[in-house]
Chains A and B, each alone.
Chain A
Amino acid sequence: MAYHSFLLEPISCHAWNKDRTQIALCPNNHEVHIYRKDGAKWSKVHELKEHNGQVTGIDWAPESNRLVTCGTDRNAYVWTLKGNVWKPTLVILRINRAARCVKWSPKENKFAVGSGSRLISICYFEQENDWWVCKHIKKPIRSTVLSLDWHPNNVLLAAGSCDFKCRIFSAYIKEVEERPSPTPWGSKMPFGELMFESSSSCGWVHSICFSASGARVAWVSHDSTLCLADANKKMGVASLCTETLPLLAVTFITENSLVAAGHDCYPMLFTYEESQGALTFGGKLDVPKQSSQRGLTARERFQNLDKKASSDTANATLDTLHKNSIRRVLGRRGGVGGQISVLAGGKANCSQFCTTGMDGGMSIWDVK
């Protein structure tokens, strides 16, 4: 496991290029900085300045090498590398609130943007007019869309929202693709069709992820729960109430295991037992060096308040690798869509994944 401290500022979002030699990240401002690995060091090689508001989402298409970014300025840009310069193309999202997340589709011919406008913008390139256009998925979303993930069939899209729901929509665009074949989530997939909607959580859905096969979708919400819907079990939902603070990011690392991280600053392993339809906690992935101090009990805290008339914060320093909440967990994508990669990876068999935190650091974790 390796830790690199990039900044003193939180890292708002990040994305890796295909061979993991470069990382694009937002240092909590209006810009995107690209760092390249030089041996053991990371050097900043590009600064992308176009957004007028904080950059809230970055995604790096592995095959076409294009970046897409979105921000609180209600815009998205597609960036293409020309020589040694990244050139932006504005994409009009037709939203009147901040964009919050963006994801390229597996075939990289579309991307989806979630926003505070309570809708998802599905963007694709219109050849005749030589620009990006978008269609909206609105119903029945009632609040900000915080997270998105594409099904491997390039059509279905999972969305997590502040209205406590995880939903799967069809984002089928007839202009750029063939009609999709039936999946365990359903057969009819006209644009905007709602294929699945959850009802179990009582918290904002921070992060959502399809398994590598697309048959399962998992999400974490602000009520400290992890949920998983299994299309092969009639979309039955398994949920787990965790003992931790809310999780903010989740990814599958095999078809049956997940890694999640959040306000507790360390990644956690979870497993899904298909026959019982149950999720279980599999342990933390970062064990502090000294034995963890329990911290004060509520009673001791009140007693101290009484004595000193001041709040007495536990003086144990944070022993975990990340000193602040972890915001993103990105599985290294190696084998999705027929790609052949020298390093084993992908959501089917992840051997390494990366986390970035509000402490400005980036960690690479090995899965054994």
Chain B
Amino acid sequence: RRTGDALRAFHAALRSSPGNAKSQAMKEQAQGTMLKVLTSFKSSEIEQAVNSLDRNGVDLLMKYIYKGFEKPTENSSAILLQWHEKALAAGGLGSIVRVLTARKTV
């Protein structure tokens, strides 16, 4: 498995995030896809992936991280906490505030 694949999948998942989708099914599918992508990363690859994002990307990632926390699977929380650490370093507390205040959820 090459690092490049995971990174491409990551950006694709963020790009295709259903922004205004009212369909809960669509949202859940996107959440599932994103969780698969995030858990497929090696710990050492996470920082590079986060640094490839702009401010809006970091905010969107943080939303998915918290959505992932909401519905944990067997090993998801551990990897999500690593993503959280890097996303926090990039986006600051402001990115977490915007998870709480956002009207459009993922």
- Residue positions of A touching B, CB distance < 8 A: 202-203, 222-225, 241-246, 297-299, 302
Contacts and interface: CB of A to CB of B under 8 A. Distances in A.
Given A243-B93, A245-B93, A297 B88 contact: yes
27 contacts: A202-B98, A202-B102, A202-B103, A203-B101, A222-B101, A223-B98, A223-B101, A224-B97, A224-B98, A241-B56, A241-B59, A241-B94, A241-B95, A242-B94, A243-B93, A243-B94, A243-B95, A244-B92, A246-B97, A297-B81, A297-B84, A297-B85, A298-B81, A298-B85, A298-B88, A299-B82, A299-B85
A356 to B, nearest CB: 23
A226 to B, nearest CB: 10
A202 B99 CA distance: 11
A201 to B, nearest CB: 9
Q: Is the interface of A mostly helix, strand, loop or mixed?
A: loop
B55 interface: yes
A297 B94 CA distance: 15
Interface of B: 55-56, 59, 81-82, 84-85, 88, 91-95, 97-98, 101-103
A350 B103 CA distance: 37
Contacts of B85: 297-299
Chain B interface, DSSP helix/strand/loop, else mixed:
helix
Nearest to A203: B101
Contacts, number: 50
A161 to B, nearest CB: 15
A225 B55 CA distance: 12
**Which of B84, B93, B102, B103 has the most chain A CB within a 10 Å cutoff?**
B93
Interface centre among B84, B101, B103 (most CB of A within 10 A): B101
A298 B84 contact: yes
Among A225, A241, A302, the most chain B Cβ lie within 10 Å of the Cβ of A241
Contacts of B102: 202, 223
A241 B81 contact: no
Given A242-B92, A244-B92, A244-B93, A299 B81 contact: yes
B97 A223 contact: yes
Residue from the set A225, A244, A297 with the largest chain B CB neighbour count within 10 Å: A297
A203 B91 CA distance: 18
Given A243-B94, A298-B81, 13 more contacts: A202-B98, A202-B102, A202-B103, A222-B97, A223-B98, A223-B101, A241-B56, A241-B98, A242-B94, A244-B92, A297-B85, A298-B85, A299-B85
Contacts of B92: 242-244
B24 to A, nearest CB: 21
A297 B81 CA distance: 9
Contacts of B81: 297-299, 302
A299 B97 contact: no
A223 B101 CA distance: 6
A243 B102 CA distance: 15
Contacts of A225: 98
Nearest to B55: A241
A222 B103 CA distance: 13
A202 B102 CA distance: 6
Q: Which 6 A-B residue pairings sit nearest by Cβ, starting from the closest?
A: A243-B92, A224-B94, A223-B101, A299-B81, A224-B97, A297-B85
Contact of B97 (A245, A298, A302): A245
Contacts of A223: 97-98, 101-102
